[in-house]
């Protein structure tokens, strides 16, 4: 049986994002000028419905009210790629990790280049926060949507955290 794929396009502060659903679950988030370019022919029909929760969560993220996405996702990749993407999901909002740190966390300290390659193939940008991975020198390195977008996302997260207030338990809450 063939999977049913649909897509929609939303406007955000970093430009248009194309959201792709596979059988009703978010399977892709792509930026304009995404590199490497996804196969747009596989996005399915463009629709206006079926993306409400994802759109709401993106709106909240860009408004500084969401630090973690909870929309169900279904990224397609090799077992190693999925392992890397799961590791990316553990990077806290407003923080960064290096490719080396991700490789070490996976128990594969020599797999830095493979981690970088898997990071570059992340089909769910922003939701799987590949923008939070930087070079070992602390510099920004490649990003599917370009370094300007990566810098914007990291700067936004830093601004939100700097305006957040800890609650009595010490947890940080972003302002409403």
Backbone angles phi, psi at 43, to 5 degrees: -75, -20
Distance, in Å, from the CA atom of 16 to the CA atom of 29, rounded to the nearest integer, reads 10
Instruction: Determine whether 130 is an active site residue.
Output: yes
Determine if the peptide bond prior to 168 is cis (ω within 30°): no
Chain centroid, CA 68 distance in Å: 10
Nearest to 125, CA basis, from 47, 24, 15: 15
Which candidate, 139, 94, 134, places its Cα nearest to that of 115?
A: 134
CA Rg value for the chain: 16
- What are the structure tokens assigned to 34, written together? 């995404």
**Active-site annotation holder among 130, 133, 134, 160:** 130
Active site residues: 130
């Amino acid at each position: 049986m063939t999977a049913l794929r649909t897509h929609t396009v939303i406007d955000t502060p970093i430009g248009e994002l194309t959201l792709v659903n596979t059988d009703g679950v978010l399977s892709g988030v792509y930026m304009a000028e995404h590199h490497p370019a996804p196969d747009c022919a596989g996005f399915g029909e463009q629709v206006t419905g079926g993306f409400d929760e994802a759109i709401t969560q993106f709106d909240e993220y860009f408004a500084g009210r969401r630090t973690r996405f909870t929309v169900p996702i279904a990224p397609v990749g090799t077992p190693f790629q999925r392992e890397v993407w799961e590791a990316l999901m553990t990077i806290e909002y407003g923080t960064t990790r290096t490719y080396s740190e991700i490789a070490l966390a996976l128990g594969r300290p020599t797999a830095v280049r493979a981690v970088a390659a898997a990071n570059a193939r992340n089909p769910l940008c922003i939701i799987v926060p590949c923008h939070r991975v930087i070079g070992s020198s602390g510099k920004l390195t490649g990003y599917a949507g370009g370094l300007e977008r990566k810098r914007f996302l990291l700067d936004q997260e830093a601004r939100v955290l700097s305006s957040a207030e800890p609650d009595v338990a010490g947890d940080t809450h972003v302002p409403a």
